[in-house]
Chain A
């Protein structure tokens, strides 16, 4: 397998790998490193790639395991700096910021979910895999995937409803 073949094989799902890594590791740099690591691992084992029946699913499983390992190891302590303590008098801009804020708020809600649910929401609602694929990637059965997904969605809805109605943050 040549480099061009490899790139065309990996191209369709490298962004998905990156987004899953970012969902779990939060920081962009960490996620980039993880993605690079995963792609290099695939490249090193490129002779065996044809043996896997679904390279994409295999890569996603690898990403999940790699990121969970990173989270367990002590060196992965992310610090994220968010500054939201500014005021703006422009009303239309204010509205825009609010809209963007509530979208950001969803990402914060997702950060609080348990890892398993995070991964499932990422794979289902963002990457739109079907249940069979998710079950294969996570080495779970489909029912368990559905149960976890339902829990995660209900949690997100609850928190969003609260914020929307009472402005609790």
Chain B
């Protein structure tokens, strides 16, 4: 009965009229151990089909091209930023440079500040010259000290004479 059914299915199978379910039935039959002797030659075919189905693709696929492209663009952007950093200050560097470029009131203020600072520095110079006078005084002291050391030497010798 089963065999009859299988033979019918095989006939249909060879005419490519079987459904997927019927083909699964055939496969199951030929994978079992009790295959009718006159159908034995179909066995390797169905075995081969189920074996081939097991084969797998094991290699890794490098899915990186998109990301490396992004990195390339980042370096381009960095270079662009650097270039902008150098070029932009030069282009926009049209600010006033000499005194004549400034408006009159600013010039006025500048001159006043300059005069005030000059006065300050004058006073400082006065201060330093009076300090120079102190320097002179300290020099005189040093000279005095030198002379005093002569006196101590003299007193030492008199002390020796007195001891003797």
Which of the four size classes fits the interface of chain B? Answer: 20 to 34
Using known A-B contacts A35-B59, A157-B14, A164-B40, determine if residue A127 contacts B20 with beta carbons closer than 8 Å: no
Which of the residues B23, B41, B57 comes within 8 Å of A15, measured between beta carbons?
Answer: B57
Binds B, one of A50-58, A67-75, A85-93, A101-109: A101-109
Q: Is the CB of A22 within 8 A of B55?
A: yes
Q: Is the CB of B51 within 8 A of A15?
A: no
User: What residues of A have a CB within 8 angstroms of the CB of B47 in the complex?
Assistant: 103, 106
Using known A-B contacts A15-B56, A19-B52, determine if residue A153 contacts B41 with beta carbons closer than 8 Å: no
Which applies to chain B's interface (DSSP): helix, strand, loop or mixed? helix
Distance between B35 CB and nearest chain A CB, rounded to angstroms: 12
User: What residues of B have a CB within 8 angstroms of the CB of A60 in the complex?
Assistant: none
Interface bits A145-159 vs B (CB < 8 Å: 1, else 0): 111011001101100
Which of the four size classes fits the interface of chain A? Answer: 35 or more
User: What residues of B have a CB within 8 angstroms of the CB of A103 in the complex?
Assistant: 44, 47-48, 51
Using known A-B contacts A17-B57, A125-B23, A150-B14, determine if residue A106 contacts B40 with beta carbons closer than 8 Å: no
Q: 27 A-B Cβ contacts within 8 A?
A: A3-B63, A6-B63, A15-B56, A15-B57, A17-B57, A18-B55, A18-B57, A19-B55, A32-B59, A35-B61, A39-B63, A40-B61, A102-B44, A103-B47, A103-B51, A105-B44, A106-B47, A107-B48, A107-B52, A125-B23, A126-B49, A146-B16, A149-B16, A157-B41, A160-B45, A161-B41, A164-B40
List of 5 A-B pairs having minimum Cβ-Cβ separation, nearest first: A18-B57, A164-B41, A106-B48, A150-B16, A102-B44
Residues in B lying within 8 Å of A, measured CB to CB:
13-17, 20, 23-24, 40-45, 47-49, 51-53, 55-57, 59, 61, 63, 65-66
Residues in A lying within 8 Å of B, measured CB to CB:
3, 6-7, 14-15, 17-19, 22, 32, 35-36, 39-40, 43-44, 99, 102-103, 105-107, 125-128, 130, 145-147, 149-150, 153-154, 156-157, 160-161, 163-165
